[in-house]
Structure 1
Amino acid sequence: MTVTYTIYIVDDEQSLAKGIAIGLAKDYQARSFTTAETALESMVKETPDLVLLDIGLPGMNGVDALRVIKSDYPDVVVIMITAFEDLKTVISAMKLGAYDYIVKPIQMDTLEVTIKNALESIRLRKEVKALQEQYLKENLPFFIGDSKVIQNVMEYIENVSQSADTPILILGESGTGKELIASAIHYRSPNFKGPLITVNCAAIPKDLLESELFGYERGAFSGAKSTGKKGLIEQAADGTLFLDEIGDLSLDAQAKLLRFLDSGEYYKVGGTTKSHVQTRIVSATNKDLMKMIEDGSFREDLYFRIGVVRLEVPSLNNRPEDILPIARHFLVEFGRKFGKSLTGITQEAEQALQQTQYRGNVRHLKNIIERATLVAKGPELTVEDIGVDYGNNLSILRNSQLPHSTLPALSQEGIDLPSVMESVERQYIEEALKLTKDNETKAAELLQLKYSTLRYRRRILGIP
């Protein structure tokens, strides 16, 4: 299906505006206007994809018109036209959201390249928006993907979400999106008006996990708050409690969770009074619970209780047709995050992404695109940007250094420094783990971090 773009040319030189419109007519729907007022009036009935806007217009000038367009039609791309390079005015226009600017006399070849690049960014944005509208209906969590296997998973989620209290166990490799599925279940269930509380059982010390889940009475133990504390189960009342990495629960905590699942009742740590609450328990793990049952580290009765409904999330490596839609989604996300206008991914890079083995599944792909977007010089992500050894199908970091030249420049609009720092931190941790063959103790030494700090940051950053 061929997409037709509409372009408005707004210039008080009528012959110039009409001439540009005629020159663009072979590829686009082009309309010319001599004032900003008439162009804005026309936008009410027909919103263009792109506007070529002269700065020096009679009546409402181009900068004021740009302000109105970006306020009322934020998705419209605007390219400013100026008779001379007035740097101050151009900077003002760029701050207001202009995509680019061109200087008279206008060279059609240059103009067409600028328009093509701008419209490519629109195409990518529309493509992602269409994916989001298709898979994120009513702003509810949904997977991006066209594969039959993921569609089957989502259909199954629709069915099992109808209950308000039936426990669900989500199984799958690390990084497959188990938390996203738990969220999808919650928002499709009768509990959607209640809270969704998430706890990573592996991130909480085992001696504190019981008090975090069930809460405690004042004076229950040394260091306890004088007012006591609500547990996560109580916080999730009339909603959903998502227990990620449930295989890390201690046997004592497993026994208490089993009692709660059977009766809806529990005792706070240090308490003697029963508490009762209605909440749905959704659990997830990438561990082999059957093996843990055999070695005595996980209760068999709890396994069958939390897994009244069991759902297995497919690995990204088993649904390769979903790789590019997901990659494009992350490209837009991180392009916005780092203030970069990237138009897409080169064909060679797409082929490399499709042939890469994702040890960390969707999270692994997300990390690759985040790092690639950070270092990319544009306009498209290349094989070099994504750091894929095309011949060996290995995702690697080509150098152990991140030269200053690969960092995004500090512009007048500013930069999201915490995001950049997080990306740099992730890059060095990934490289240290690669060099040490995933030995966290040695990786921590390389980075001059405490072992516990490295483990914590690895978990927080989602590094597989």
Structure 2
Amino acid sequence: MRILIVDDNLPSLQSLSLVLHDLGYEPTPFEDPVAALAEARTTWFPLIITDIRMPGMDGLTLLSHLKEDPTTAEADVVLITGHGDMETAVEALRRGAYDYLNKPINARELAAVVERCAEHQALLMENRELREHLDEAVEERADTLRRELESARTRLRQVTGIGDVVAASPAMSGLLDETRVFHDEPSVPVLIEGETGTGKEVVARLIHYGESGNDTPFIALNCAAIPHELFEAELFGHEPGAYTGSRAGGSPGKLELAAEGTLFLDEVAEMPLSLQPKLLRVLEERSFYRLGGVKRREFKARVVCAGNRDLAAMVEAGQFRRDLYHRLRVGHLRIPPLRERPEDIPVLAGLFLQREAMRKKKHFTALSPDALRLLGRQPWTGNVRELENAVERAVLLHDGPALTARHLSFLDEHAMAEVPTPVTAGQPGAWRLDPDNLTLPDAPFDVEALVDGLVRKAVERFGGNKSRAAAYLGISRFALHRRLSK
């Protein structure tokens, strides 16, 4: 890259030229700023480094001429300043200078500035080329951009997890409709409630990103993971020396980092009661102060909260502020547990299977009917997260064209919990086998055959599910297998 250097101090000019040459660039030195300006108008220099104080034409005047001339306007200009020139350097930045360097010039800082200018000029060149060829390549470029956009959206859905929200059930269809409304109204706080594993953060990200993406920050804070004594600084940030152990330069909090994006407060029920009035004030006034600070900072972010505890009950018990609760639930979503929306299980399982097979380079493409029946019988106390983990485990351990019930046999552990509680004597339809009141037949009989028959009947009763049959008979799964193998 060619670099024009302007400095009336010859030793400084020669030293700067030598350093840039050693860095691999092509320096062109000038002592006279007027001659340098004439050279810049006839030869393209992506970067011009000039001293501020020079006789005849100072650095600010040279900068103005360079920026006013169309042939030099896109060149990056870096000014060399002394200790008394800081106000002038700031004015130069306002007039379009790219950066400035303090005397004496540090070689490492010089190299960093020049490298940034080289990257900037590469981007400008790319933009110029795009503009020059836009007419002849507009349709082809548009198609490419559309493909890249779709690819970016796909990656976004994979990274954020928002692609895991499916709406096969009426309940989830209605919920997705509401997320679209909340996405369009960033000033409305949203409270998401649901059991553990239902996907509350995924829904929060869906509210933030919407269907077309969002380049503003999504800042998540797990309220249960922050010690109470550090919670205020974590949320509001702090100024230098605000408290013992604080960072010397201060630090922004999550309110500040969220900028114009979304602040997601997970497990909001765990927020200290003493801090809740301060959060309420932020929501009401849309501003805040850092801990130990006097500067009022504007708060523009959307607030989305989530929790698996009953906030309404906590309000009645005095464990959560009523006014904050009602402010947070202006927008309210309840994610139903997976057992209440069985229509979503096959779709979610298929989504997880496709994703895990791709990640682990397996050949699974579908779920077999018996696998779907097995998945549909599970209680899914861990909800969507448990289903995802089950599919991931099966894909990790097995391979094949279709995921079958055999691959998911470990789920029998959950099925054992579904064994009906035995009825007791006196209940309608009760049946009880009492060893102390048995009437044995007069003729000899085969005890082993009787036990085998009971085992077969139990296995048939539970559709071949050996874990449930073993639990029903009160024996171990190993003992049942041993009996059947005979």
Relative to the length of structure 2, the TM-score reads: 0.50
| SS of equivalent to 1:220 | coil
Query: Cα offset for 1:384?
Result: 3.6
**CA deviation map 1:30-64 (0-9, x unaligned):** xxxxxxxxxxxxxxxxxxxxxxxxxxxxxxxxxxx
Q: Percent identity?
A: 38
Whether the 8 Å CA contact 2:311–2:320 is kept in 1: the answer is yes
2:380 corresponding residue in structure 1: 358
| Residue 264 of structure 2 corresponds to residue 209 of structure 1 | no
Counterpart selection for 1:342 from 364, 369, 372: 364
Q: Quote the offset at 1:377 in angstroms.
A: 4.1
Quote how far apart the aligned CAs of 1:329 are. 1.0
Pairwise CA distance, 1:223: 2.1
Correspondence 1:386 to 2:408: yes
Q: Take 1:382 and 1:258, find their aligned partners in 2: how far apart are those partners?
A: 51
Change (3 A) 1:351 1:238: same
Residue pair 1:164, 1:190 contacting (<8 A) in 2 also? no
Shift of 1:159: 2.1
Matches within 5 A, 1:358-377: 358-377=380-399
What is the aligned partner in structure 2 of residue 141 from structure 1? 162
Instruction: Determine the structure 2 residue equivalent to 1:230.
Output: 252
Q: Indicate if the aligned counterparts of 2:167 and 2:176 stay in contact, CA closer than 8 A.
A: no
Contact persistence 1:352–1:393 (CA under 8 A):
no
- Change in Cα spacing, 1:391 to 1:178, as seen in structure 2 (3 Å) is closer
What is the SS of the residue equivalent to 1:393?
Answer: helix
* Whole-Å separation in 2 of the counterparts to 1:391 and 1:252: 44
Please tell me the residue identity of whatever aligns with 1:228.
G
* 1:273-328 Cα deviation digits (max 9, x unpaired): 33222111111111111121122221111001111111111111111111011111
Q: Which residue of 1 aligns with 2:180?
A: 158
- Cα distance in 1 for residues equivalent to 2:374 and 2:234: 44
Q: Which amino acid aligns with 1:341?
A: H
Aligned pair 1:183/2:205, yes or no? Answer: yes
Give the distance between the partners of 1:191 and 1:274, measured in 2 at CA.
31
Deviation per residue, 1:38-91 (Å, 9 max, x gap): xxxxxxxxxxxxxxxxxxxxxxxxxxxxxxxxxxxxxxxxxxxxxxxxxxxxxx
Which structure 2 residues correspond to residues 384-423 of structure 1 after superposition, within 5 A? Answer: 384-389=406-411, 393-394=415-416
Residue 286, structure 1, aligned to residue 308, structure 2: yes
Measured at CA, do residues 367 and 190 of structure 1 come closer, stay the same or move farther in structure 2, by a change above 3 Å? closer
Residues 1:293 and 1:191: Cα distance change in structure 2 (over 3 Å)? farther
Match of 1:197 in 2: 219
Once the two structures are superposed, what CA deviation does each residue of 1:126-161 show, in whole Å capped at 9, x if it has no partner?
Answer: xxx9xx99xx79x99352231111111111222232
- Structure 2 CA distance for partners of 1:371 and 1:392, relative to 1, 3 Å: closer
Matching of residue 302 in structure 1 with residue 315 in structure 2: no
What's the Cα RMSD here?
2.9
Q: Which amino acid is the alignment partner of residue 393 of structure 2?
A: R
Whether the 8 Å CA contact 2:282–2:299 is kept in 1: the answer is no
Name 2:478's counterpart in structure 1. Answer: none
Pairwise CA distance, 1:344: 2.5
Counterpart for residue 442 of structure 2 = none
1:245 matched to 2:283? The reply is no
For structure 2, the 5+ residue unaligned runs are 1-149, 419-486
Bigger radius of gyration, 1 or 2?
2
The equivalent of 2:278 in structure 1 is 256
Query: Match of 1:83?
Result: none
| Conserved 8 A contact 2:265-2:305 | yes
CA distance in 2 between counterparts of 1:342 and 1:190 reads 30
Structure 1 residues 381-431: Cα deviation after superposition (integer angstroms, max 9, x where no partner): 2334324455972589xxxxxxxxxxxxxxxxxxxxxxxxxxxxxxxxxxx
For residues 99-138 of structure 1, the aligned pairs below 5 Å read none
Residues 203 and 385 from structure 1, CA distance in 2 versus in 1: closer, same or farther, beyond 3 angstroms?
A: farther
- Distance change in 2, residues 1:191/1:201 (3 Å): farther
- Is this contact kept in 1: 2:379–2:414, CA < 8 A? no
> CA-to-partner distance for each residue in 1:345-367, whole Å, 9 max, x for gaps?
23212111011011111111011
Q: Which residue of 1 aligns with 2:61?
A: none
1:323 is matched with which residue? 345
Counterparts of 1:159 and 1:217, CA distance in 2:
37
**Alpha-carbon offset, residue 171 of structure 1:** 1.0
User: Residues 162 and 206 of structure 2 are in contact (CA less than 8 Å); yes or no, is this contact kept in structure 1?
Assistant: yes
Deviation at 1:228, TM superposition (A): 0.7
Which residue identity is paired with 2:386? H
Which residue pairs with 1:219 in the alignment? 241
Which has the higher mean CA deviation after the structures are superposed, 148-157 or 201-210?
201-210
Q: Distance in 2 between matches of 1:378 and 1:341?
A: 5
Q: Secondary structure at the match of 1:368?
A: helix
Label 1:342 to 1:274 Cα distance change in 2 as closer, same or farther (>3 A).
Answer: same
Asked if the contact 1:358–1:365 (Cα under 8 Å) also holds between the matched residues in 2, the reply is: yes
Secondary structure of 1:351's counterpart equals helix
CA contact (8 A) 1:162 1:190 kept: no
Distance 1:219 1:269 in 2: 10
Opposite residue 234 of structure 1, the aligned amino acid is: E
Q: Which has the higher contact order (CA 8 A, sep 6+)?
A: 1
Query: Number of matched residues?
Result: 264
- Conserved 8 A contact 2:363-2:399: no
How many Å separate the matches in 1 of 2:200 and 2:414? 29
Local SS of the residue matching 2:252:
coil
Matched, 1:169 2:226: no
Which amino acid is the alignment partner of residue 283 of structure 1? C
CA contact (8 A) 2:198 2:337 kept: yes
Name the CA shift for 1:389/1:329 in 2 (closer, same or farther; >3 Å): closer
1:55 is matched with: none
Paired AA for residue 141 in structure 1: I
| Matched position secondary structure for 1:173 | coil
Q: TM-score, normalised by structure 1?
A: 0.53
